[in-house]
């Protein structure tokens, strides 16, 4: 079955720690995205990547970092510089960044800072 997997499903972090969220896709999509979802707000774009070894900042990149070493993988690191990291994090992919391509989402990771 083709799809997007995210792990872990739930993640707890102490203040001052960096954590890495995993995202893997087997859809052979070139483009991948990370979003943050907070109650009462729309999805906000953190980072996106058009191709391996290339990625761009989205609207709320501060305190986050990513890498794209393989086509199928796009991990997100939430650093200690992110002041309010508790949220639901969603990874998505699409065939390409070209306008209009549908984005498909993974199941999400809920991060809680203790």
Partner 1 sequence: QKEVEQDPGPLSVPEGAIVSLNCTYSNSAFQYFMWYRQYSRKGPELLMYTYSSGNKEDGRFTAQVDKSSKYISLFIRDSQPSDSATYLCATGTTDSWGKFQFGAGTQVVVTP
**Residues in the site for partner 1, rule: CB under 8 A?**
4, 6, 31, 33, 40-43, 45, 48, 50, 58, 88, 90, 94, 96-108, 110
Integer Cα distance of 57 and 60 in angstroms? 8
Give the shortest CB-103-to-partner 1 separation in angstroms.
Answer: 7
Query: Quick one: 17 or 59, whose CB is closer to partner 1?
Result: 59
Integer Cα distance of 15 and 114 in angstroms? 7
Query: Quick one: 75 or 80, whose CB is closer to partner 1?
Result: 75
Query: Quick one: 20 or 107, whose CB is closer to partner 1?
Result: 107
Query: Quick one: 13 or 88, whose CB is closer to partner 1?
Result: 88
């Amino acid at each position: 079955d083709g799809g997007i997997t995210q792990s872990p499903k739930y993640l707890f972090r102490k203040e001052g720690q960096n954590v890495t969220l995993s995202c893997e896709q087997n859809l052979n999509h070139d483009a991948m995205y990370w979003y943050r979802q907070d109650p009462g707000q729309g999805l906000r774009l953190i980072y996106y990547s058009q191709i391996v070894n290339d990625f761009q900042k989205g609207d709320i990149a501060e305190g986050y970092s990513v890498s794209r070493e393989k086509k199928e993988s796009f991990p997100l690191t939430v650093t200690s510089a992110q002041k309010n990291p508790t949220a639901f994090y969603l990874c998505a992919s699409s065939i390409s960044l070209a306008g209009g391509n549908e984005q498909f989402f993974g199941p999400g990771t809920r991060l809680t800072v203790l």
